[in-house]
Chain A
Amino acid sequence: MGNVVQRRTRGALRRCPFEVCGNMAGLELLSDQGYRLDGRKATELRKVQARMGVFAQADGSAYLEQGNTKALAVVYGPHEMRGSRSRTRHDQAVINCQYSMATFSTAERKRRPHGDRKSTEMSLHLKQTFEAAVMTQLYPRSQIDIYVKILQSDGGNYSVCVNAATLAVIDAGIPMRDYVCACTVGFVDETPLADLCYAEESGGVSSLALALLPRGGQIALLQMDARLHQDHLEALIEAAMTACKGVSKVLDEVVRQHLQEVSVLTGE
């Protein structure tokens, strides 16, 4: 149980740009009938589709779509430390993550695909998530590289990256404690909404991202930088966990499907 990493970014002092319930765009995020903007109900996830082993060159790779958010994850390693040797740890492997967004991933073309503050922060979060999940102690003095690229962005970038990277790590054959599944949840009209899309995220919802090791119910990362009343936090985390478990079911299916295909190919 020692692997629970909780992290709050940028401190609690930073005020969220929107009022908690003030929904600036004037869009009704949850209708009286219980529908969201895109026709989902509050607890429903977007459609998840994934493929593993999309590249032959890398040790592991995966492509994952969650609604309109699409991500590509590639894993190299474990291999010897490259670059500066000083980061080497003699008892465990070092995880190196890099997050980037394709210039064409958003509605307006991005100038810098990676290296900006947001990407750096996201890379750090991914690193922390996977340090909690990958059994790094099996590979001392080595390095595991995880590269994730968002091809199309429509909300929930962090969670889609985590889910894609999980599949890639599994594809690379690196042992993990469990799937790491991530999901964002938002809080509207006293109701938690699972798996926010971009329109919802930008509509002034206080949202929370959670990465979960579903079997043990351990939290790998919990991030939230909006204002929320303390009383609602528990319900929100509860909803996030349920959503993560839903994701893990889909991922599990994808992995089994992939194994079947591979075993047919190799004739076993």
Chain B
Amino acid sequence: CLQTEKILHLKSHRGRKVRVVREHYLRERVPCYSSLCQADCENDGKVLPGDLTHYVVPDVGVVVDFLEILEFRELQGVVFTQTACQAVQHCKGRRQYNRLRNLIKDPRHDCVLFANEFQEYSYCPREKGESQEKWQTRCVYSAAVWYHNHLAGMKDVVMITEDQDAVAEYSSLNAGVYVISDFLQNFWPELQPAHELYSSISQALQEKESESSQKEYTEHLPAEILEAGIKSGRYIKGTLNINKHHDEASIMTEGLSNKNNDPSWAVLVCGNKNRNRAVHGDTVVVELLPKSEWRGKVTALSEGEEKSGEDNESKPMPTGRVVGILQRNWRDYVVTFPPRDGTQSQSRNSQRILAVPWDRRIPKIRISTQQADALQDHRVVVRIDSWESTSLYPNGHSVRVLGRAGEMETEVQTILIENCIHVPPFSDAQLREMPVNSPEKPWRMDPVQVAERRDLRETHLVFSIDPRGCEDVDDTLSVRSIAGGKLLELGVHIADVTHFVAEGSLTDLEARIRSTTYYLADRRYDMLPAVLSADLCSLLGGVDRYAMSVMWELDAQTLAVNKVWYGRTVIRSSYQLHYELAQALLNGEPAEVPELARLEPEEKDAKLAELNQALETLTHVARHLRAQRDRGGALELEGVEVRAQLDEQRNITALVPRQPLEVHETVAECMIYANHWVARKIQETFPHQALLRRHPPPRQEFFNQLVESAKAMGFTIDTRTNKALADSLDRAVDPQDPLVNKMLRMMATTAMSQALYFSTGLESQDQFYHYGLALDRYTHFTSPIRRYADIVVHRLLTAAIAVERGADSGRAIASNKELEELAQHINSKNRAAQRAQKLSTVLFQCLYFKERDPQTDPQCVADAIVYSIRNNGLLVYIPEYGVKGPVYLKNREGQVVAAGEDGSCEWQSGSLRHYSDRISTTSSCGTSTFRLCDHITVRISVRSTSSHADSLNLEIISNKPHRSAEPQQPHSQGRSQLVQEVVRQAEEAQQQAQEKAARRPKLSREEREFSQSKTPNLYSLLEEVRELALMDLDTAARVCVTSAS
């Protein structure tokens, strides 16, 4: 049933020379993916447009070495040959190959893959004695000729190669195909970044050739030996993880640590020689050293805070050395070019620079460039090309210059790149997919859609409760009593983003890549274009909007669920309330509802009563739900703390400690409930392909610190279950000091593990449990505007509804494997977003304090609370600025802090004693003791380095609480002012520079505003404050309690 031909391939197999015969089938019809095709090829998917001047067929060498240049979107009409793709896989490994595959799949790039080796006429068998390179070039050439003929000569085909011999050989053949080597100069003379990249790569390649042959490292073992060694247990496979603070690496062994749940099963790798060219994040294979060479972990608080426990200081750990690398995990790195000081090894080759990566875990990278002088003290994006055993440092090439180190814009870009966050402005093609809503052409609902959906506009009182001034309203609520008061109908209505974002559309792909909206300290990068996120998807008051609804019929007395309805609806939100207003209404305080301002008094009263009734019912239901979860063991952890207050221009006027309003909890509870029920629905309909969110129980040993500290303060904490933990935390209250309970909750928070998205097909059902919320199934459904996971869940729910109706959903939903990949991607992006947010906050703190002189400026002295005790210092929290950091009680000279009579501290020689709940220093002045929850006064200064991020340095100046000389300003204002001030300073500096350089008029405020979210924005600050307050950022993520809405 096939018309194929058979051709034999000779191959020598690995190891011994073995003759392997392989079949090779050729066919006449291979799709060409060009819209000019005359022969009716089955071109499904991406096709090359017909309106280009030429098609480009890159040679094997070009694809292997210069793939990065081909990634420029400006280069259109690129035809990759199968020969070239295989060569990439062969000599560059799977990672580079996947990159090429993604490039080909990406609909934004104009390139296709032509399976030339399976085409009858473009395939050329390798001749006897022909070298591989020659043969590959011949294949590519013959593919180019085929392309030309296939398109009946309508399109010029250009083959680009770096091989001058090939140019000489083939350009004379004159088969309608141009073979050239200087493609960029001829066709893209104005594409400057590509030229720079080109010269940087080719320079790096040349350097590689002239490498010396002196061995610096032992060679890696070949892959088969590694495989065999791992299987036999001789070697251990794992991911190399380098400690941020010490130059110490360890291997987290994947399979083993999960199984026996033993955190100590990490292998230490000491020193560069043993690390053998592995870079942070690589998947490596290690061999254990003999027991006599095992070493212990370094645990002294030398620099920065330390997470590891204090007791295993001297216990030797398994120690090993890297024998091979299975998978490189190189990404783009930001490096700083060091200033020229003459001491560098310029003598040998002046073009080679050792650049220092921003990330301390990455080794220095050797860059060859001609712009070394121009780039001094600049931050540059580089990529590592190779790391030969003969070279002490890896070789790389520069990709892009970010700007001068220390400038705000440069530093923010650095943070984004270091976390692999790529947020270009939305392209025209993406924006073209968006519906239009302008005053001239207002957006209207489609009557077909309205007919299909359940219309709640007339029947239900729908309202939203959000922070003041919120512009992307994801969620609205409704509640009413039906069946003569016997039943209650509670409804949660979520913006129907999936209606506007079709699966597989460009917007969807972009959103999937971003996975979440990124909030930095001074800006945000939206996941969806603004027309959706702030307008058409946002459930604003008084306008018709599409929604995705979950509605419960509850028994009015017992509040037991009678029936649940899921479906698409049309709603019109009647009130857009904010939290304070809603709470005021609930409390019966006089409050002005803007929507009712213009009504007659009687009508107004009636409406107000109706709204009040709804709010009260809602609160009642939410209390019940909360109680239900509390019985299950839901945790209340230290989370939301301060809140931003805004004026009309959405500037933040103050950060005030949040009044814990009950209405916050009410809304959050309804959202948790909706998420839970949606999780149930999709999990029941698609038992193997639902996207849920689980929160694994924390490891018991992480609670040690909490339990010990609590014991020292006279409380017992039971950590066996989440219920026991919640109860014992509730009991641990010191009537004298409310901070004690807060501190304990904070410690519990740091012990938590991270909540994760996952596909249900991958875990057994008992693993679905959400520890923090005490729910057996949980997912994210309620914020599709800013989280991609919610979009996926919306699609699943739509499919589930279709299945329930008996209608086939038409399209297969994602398989378990695809979904799991997606879940991993979203998880990693979420982590990156959190890291970036944290780093940007630190950056702004540093920029703020950099302007000030720590010795004189009163802003630099602040009150701090001790929240943890370490071997040689304290970890403190400064509420005024939201800063957490270490305070050392012992300096490098071995002196300790001694407190005088008035509490002022100074360095003196003495000794330090460390207990579980306190630390005391003894010196000639006597003994001073620091306990948990003590208030002390610290001075803040900036420790700056040229090539890394700056950090804050805290120094103790008194062991008494800080009393400011001036009248105390309202507390906790610091951060908002801080961000504003830094932004203002940066803008001023920028303007000055511009004026100097070009004498151009200042940028108008509008102009600056229209670039993507540059101004300190309400949402970003709110979110930031919400997530950051008092908690460490990476722990903030673990507390999903607060991120439910």
Give residues in A with beta carbon < 8 Å to B: 21, 24, 26, 28, 31-33, 35, 37-40, 44-47, 67-68, 107-108, 154, 190, 197, 199, 231, 246, 249-250
Contacts and interface: CB of A to CB of B under 8 A. Distances in A.
Contact of A47 (B4, B13, B20): B4
Contacts of A40: 2, 4, 25
A38 B22 contact: yes
Which 7 residue pairs across A and B have the least CB separation, nearest first? Answer: A39-B25, A39-B118, A38-B23, A107-B18, A67-B23, A40-B25, A246-B1
With most chain B CB atoms within 10 A of its CB, the pick from A32, A38, A45, A154 is A38
Contacts of A32: 101, 104-105, 113
Contacts of B13: 107
B20 A107 contact: yes
Contact of B27 (A31, A39, A45, A47): A39
Nearest to B6: A47
A45 B104 contact: no
Nearest to B14: A25
B584 interface: no
Contacts of A47: 2, 4, 6, 25
B2 A38 contact: no
A46 B4 CA distance: 9
Contacts of A190: 815, 817
Summarize B's interface: helix, strand, loop or mixed: mixed
A108 to B, nearest CB: 6
B115 A68 contact: no
A231 B842 CA distance: 50
Nearest to A38: B23
A67 B21 CA distance: 11
B245 to A, nearest CB: 36
A110 to B, nearest CB: 14
B901 to A, nearest CB: 69
Interface in B207-266: 227
B19 A35 contact: no
B688 interface: yes
B26 interface: yes
Interface residues of B, number: 30
Interface string B1-41: 11010100000010010111111111100010000000000
A39 B24 contact: yes
23 contacts: A26-B89, A31-B115, A32-B113, A33-B113, A33-B115, A35-B118, A38-B25, A39-B4, A39-B24, A39-B25, A40-B2, A44-B1, A44-B2, A44-B4, A47-B2, A47-B6, A47-B25, A67-B6, A107-B20, A108-B18, A190-B817, A231-B688, A246-B1
Given A26-B89, A47-B2, A154-B21, 5 more contacts: A32-B113, A39-B4, A39-B25, A108-B16, A199-B22
Contacts of A107: 13, 18-20
Contacts of A26: 89, 94
Interface string B94-135: 100000010011000000010101100000000000000000
A68 B1 contact: no
Interface of B: 1-2, 4, 6, 13, 16, 18-27, 31, 89, 94, 101, 104-105, 113, 115, 117-118, 227, 688, 815, 817
A45 B21 CA distance: 18
B24 A38 contact: yes
Contacts of A154: 21, 23
Nearest to B33: A33
A26 B226 CA distance: 14
Contacts of B105: 32
A21 B113 CA distance: 25
Nearest to B227: A24
Given A38-B22, A39-B24, A250 B1 contact: yes
A212 B104 CA distance: 41
B1018 to A, nearest CB: 44
With most chain A CB atoms within 10 A of its CB, the pick from B18, B19, B22, B113 is B22
A249 B1 contact: yes
B1022 to A, nearest CB: 43
A249 B1 CA distance: 8
A154 B22 CA distance: 8
A246 B2 CA distance: 10
A164 B528 CA distance: 61
A154 B817 CA distance: 30
A231 B1 CA distance: 29
A154 B21 CA distance: 9
A68 B21 contact: yes
Contacts of A45: 1-2
Contacts of B16: 108
Nearest to A46: B23
Contacts of A46: 23
Contacts of B22: 37-38, 68, 197, 199
A21 B25 contact: no
Contacts of A231: 688
A232 B94 CA distance: 27
A67 B27 CA distance: 16
A68 B23 contact: yes
B5 to A, nearest CB: 8
A37 B22 CA distance: 9
A39 B817 contact: no
A37 B25 CA distance: 9
Contact of B23 (A24, A33, A197, A249): A197
Nearest to B20: A107
A199 B16 CA distance: 17
B610 to A, nearest CB: 51
Contacts of B6: 47, 67
A73 B94 CA distance: 43
B16 to A, nearest CB: 8
A94 to B, nearest CB: 36
Nearest to B818: A190
A244 to B, nearest CB: 12
Contacts of A44: 1-2, 4, 25
Nearest to A27: B89
A39 B16 CA distance: 27
Nearest to A232: B815
Contacts of B815: 190
Contacts of B19: 107
Contacts of A31: 115
A24 B815 CA distance: 22
Contacts of B101: 32
Nearest to A34: B115
Contacts of B27: 39
A39 B117 contact: yes
A32 B111 CA distance: 14
A12 to B, nearest CB: 19
Contacts of A28: 89
A249 B2 CA distance: 12
A219 B380 CA distance: 65
Contacts of B104: 32
A41 to B, nearest CB: 9
A107 B14 CA distance: 12
A39 B26 contact: yes
A37 B86 CA distance: 11
Contacts of A24: 227
A249 B104 CA distance: 39
B227 A35 contact: no
A47 to B, nearest CB: 6
A191 B593 CA distance: 59
A171 to B, nearest CB: 23
A33 B113 CA distance: 8
A190 B105 CA distance: 19
Contacts of B31: 33
A67 B113 CA distance: 27
A37 B89 CA distance: 14
B236 to A, nearest CB: 18
B102 to A, nearest CB: 10
Nearest to B223: A26
Contacts of B21: 68, 154
A66 to B, nearest CB: 10
Contacts of A199: 22
